[in-house]
Amino acid sequence: MAAWLLVGWCSGCPPASGAPPPEWLPSPSEALVDDLDEGPEEIAAPDADPEPTVLGDPYRNPFDFAGERPVAEPLFRHPMFPTAGFSGASSVLPSEGQESAHFVPIEDRWRIGLPPWDRYDRGHPRLDDYPYALGNIFNPYTQNLLKEDYPIIGQDTFLDLRASSRTITNFRQVPTPDTPFESTPTPGQEDFFGNPNGFLFLQYYAFAMELNHGDKAFKPNDWRLRIVPVINQNYLEVYEYGVVLPDVADGRRRYRGFATIEEWFVELKLADLSPNYDFVSIRGGSQPFTSDFRGFIFSDLNRAIRIFGTRLANQDQFNLAIFDQREKDTNSFLNSFDPRGQQILVANYYRQDFLWPGHTVQTSFLWDHDQKSLHYDRNGFLVRPDPVGLATPHEVNACYVGLATDGHIEAVNVTSALYYAFGHDTLNPQALQPVDIGATMAALELSYSPDWIRFRGAVFFASGDNDINDGRGGGFDGIVDNTQFAGGEFSFWVRQQIKLLGTNLKNLLSIYPDLRATNKWQSQANFVNPGLQLYNVGVDFELTQRTRLVTNCNLLFFDTTNVLESFVFQDHISRSIGTDLSLGVESRPLLNNNWIFRAGVSGLVVGDGFRDLYGGLGGDIDNLFGAFTDLELAY
């Protein structure tokens, strides 16, 4: 009976504030006693219904009959700990206030800190890998507002600032022509090729600024803005005249500087393609791009419009890009603001886990439209057209179709590529006539890593032109390659630039002996060349988690020498180029990319074909040597 009354009293209207309780309402103690009685005493109802009363204070205690309103429960505020890294001030304005002691609204989810924690009670030593590492604005290795660990605007807009320095030194011995009819530093010099020694120094400073919007989880950015100014200083010293500049009076040393905005683009996500975060985005501006796994055909940073995205829960990726190339600075290899007169179309499609888990296949189509032009580089050398044969401006239209793979099949790592090039060159300077392009390239690398040692073996084939007079260009050449294959930058053959009669037998950081002028960025692709056959073995050693040792051996052969014999007016040139031996080390002292050091030594044990080209009057040439260092520092 008492419980019912209590509910009835609560569901009704309480008396006005300050009024005594009704006489018919039992006290709480009496109500409890009545609940225990077997036969509760019936309480008589009042003689008349009480008058309606005003609704009471919902915060009143029903047993507080004194009429005094109690003080409201204070709102509980939890102490806010600072974040471990440098988060800066929050830009999130509160949109609601606290209404209950049970919930505290915290709208900036990125700046919720944790209590200070010292797991080992050693005071967070600076060089130890320690949990809960405290950071500041000058520490890039912990969470930092300046490297997009915390939003700078709202909760989805991030700022990324990076400063980097790259220092490259290159000591080399390559065949260097002298100028016996003008001047030579060596009295009595008779051979066409003189002192092979040379030194190249490159120093780059870059400052990257990026603003992007997204949630930093699985979804791609909604938009990005990026700009990267770069400053370069370079120095070249050789021991023969007419190399650094055409005028022998300019000496044997050259110092240059160059500054540009190397990278700048705007990126926007166009649409989500599936609930699995598949997307399609567009990027416009100067941007880096490599068309395949190892950079066999095209790898450059230049202005373009690119559409890219993913399908089938990121199992498939696709790219469609149109490049309008800018002219490169000759000595720094950075982009200028002048148009190059060359358009490149790239379309590729990737499928992951193709046939085997961890095995990716890619199909590609590329079109190189290199317009006719007459251009001298910054040093005064003719680069378009090639200064050989019939040096008349011509147009190159070359298409590439290819299939490439990369990944592993069970325990064996596999990389392969197969390309066919076709098109037309309106007036090839080597062949002295228009040529129809038809050339092939194939590459295969197999490797096995039982533990900390990786065993590698590879073959590479680029077809050569076996008849310079047949109106066909059968020598394979890339557009702008940056080949990471058969030792890559550690290899003497890939790294060094080797000149031959006003042009280059091969270019810097290229694998093709394509007889292009000066450098691969400013010259046009040449499909009348001797081609290449390469056979590679190598062993890589993971000495520590920070240091890797690379050893490499390449056997090099021209695919055909018909073009070379016509070019140098010499019969019976052997196909053997020589043996390329190299040893390199790569170290990441901080276990990240903020400090990378590479160094290598390499040599070419010259073969009969190389000796036929560069042996001079005595028919002999010394073996060649090269060494380099490359230090990257980033903040």
- The string of pLDDT tens digits covering residues 92-127 is 888 888 787 777 788 888 888 888 888 888 887 777
Higher-confidence position of 346 and 22? 346
Of 26, 45, 72, the residue that ends a domain is: 72
Q: Give me the helix-helix angle, 28-36 and 2-11, nearest 10°.
A: 140
For residue 6, give its domain range: 1-72
Predicted confidence at residue 17, as pLDDT, reads 41
608 and 538 in one domain?
yes
Residue 229: inside a domain: yes
Predicted confidence at residue 193, as pLDDT, reads 77
Predicted confidence at residue 177, as pLDDT, reads 79
Higher-confidence position of 94 and 480? 480
- Averaged pLDDT, 535-546: 96
Which segment of 180-189, 294-303, 346-355 scores lowest on mean pLDDT? 180-189
Higher-confidence position of 416 and 215? 416
223 and 323 in one domain?
yes
- The string of pLDDT tens digits covering residues 617-633 is 666 788 999 999 999 99
- The string of pLDDT tens digits covering residues 10-47 is 333 444 444 444 443 444 444 434 444 444 444 444 55
How far apart are alpha carbons 608 and 615 in whole angstroms?
9
134 and 160 in one domain?
no
- DSSP letter (8 states) at residue 92: P
| Position 140 pLDDT exceeds 70 | yes
The secondary element (H helix, E strand) that includes residue 562 is helix 562-568
- Averaged pLDDT, 423-435: 94
Measured in degrees and rounded to the nearest 5, phi and psi for residue 494 equal: -75, -40
- Could you tell me the CATH number of the domain that includes residue 558? 2.40.160.100
Residue with tokens 């010394």, as numbered in its chain: 622
pLDDT interval class at 219 (50, 70, 90): confident
Residue 49: inside a domain: yes
Residue 77: inside a domain: no
Predicted confidence at residue 58, as pLDDT, reads 47
- The count of structural domains within the chain is 3
Using alpha carbons only, give the angle 91, 108, 635 rounded to the nearest 5 degrees.
70
Predicted confidence at residue 38, as pLDDT, reads 46
* DSSP state string for 160-219: EEEEEEEEEEEEEE---B-BTTTB-SSTT--SSB---EEEEEEEEEEEEEEEEES-SSSS
- Of 550, 557, 594, the closest CA to residue 573 belongs to 557
Residue 242: inside a domain: yes
- Averaged pLDDT, 206-232: 93
- The string of pLDDT tens digits covering residues 440-477 is 999 999 999 999 999 999 999 999 999 999 999 999 99
Higher-confidence position of 595 and 80? 595
Measured in degrees and rounded to the nearest 5, phi and psi for residue 284 equal: -125, 130
User: How many residues appear in the chain?
Assistant: 635
Higher-confidence position of 603 and 11? 603
Share of the chain above pLDDT 90, in %: 62
Contact 431, 423 (CB under 8 A): no
- Of 495, 470, 475, 459, the closest CA to residue 398 belongs to 475
- Averaged pLDDT, 500-524: 91
Please, what is the average pLDDT of the chain?
86
Of 102, 123, 155, the residue that ends a domain is: 155
| Position 389 pLDDT exceeds 90 | no
**Which residues lie below 8 Å from residue 512, measured CB to CB, with a gap of 6+?**
462, 476, 477, 478, 481, 506, 529, 532
- Averaged pLDDT, 351-366: 97
Which segment of 46-55, 379-388, 564-573 scores lowest on mean pLDDT? 46-55
- Of 254, 282, 279, 278, the closest CA to residue 268 belongs to 282
295 and 349 in one domain?
yes
| Position 191 pLDDT exceeds 80 | no
Of 41, 72, 103, the residue that ends a domain is: 72
Predicted confidence at residue 72, as pLDDT, reads 61
274 and 144 in one domain?
no
Residue 12: inside a domain: yes
Q: Which two tokens stand for residue 351?
A: 């499928």
Residue 81: inside a domain: no
Residue 83: inside a domain: no
- The string of pLDDT tens digits covering residues 248-291 is 878 889 999 999 999 999 999 999 999 999 999 999 999 999 99
- Averaged pLDDT, 326-344: 95
161 and 150 in one domain?
no
Predicted confidence at residue 97, as pLDDT, reads 80
- Averaged pLDDT, 384-407: 93
312 and 259 in one domain?
yes
Predicted confidence at residue 12, as pLDDT, reads 39
144 and 18 in one domain?
no
Higher-confidence position of 148 and 557? 557
| Position 334 pLDDT exceeds 60 | yes
Predicted confidence at residue 250, as pLDDT, reads 82
Residue 329: inside a domain: yes
Share of the chain above pLDDT 70, in %: 85
Cα distances (angstroms) measured from residue 230 to each of 127, 153, 233, 290, 461: 32, 27, 10, 20, 36
Predicted confidence at residue 33, as pLDDT, reads 40
The secondary element (H helix, E strand) that includes residue 566 is helix 562-568
- Averaged pLDDT, 216-234: 92
Cα distances (angstroms) measured from residue 486 to each of 272, 457, 607: 40, 8, 19
29 and 145 in one domain?
no
308 and 246 in one domain?
yes
pLDDT interval class at 318 (50, 70, 90): very high
119 and 208 in one domain?
no
163 and 151 in one domain?
no
- Of 618, 634, 422, 448, the closest CA to residue 525 belongs to 422
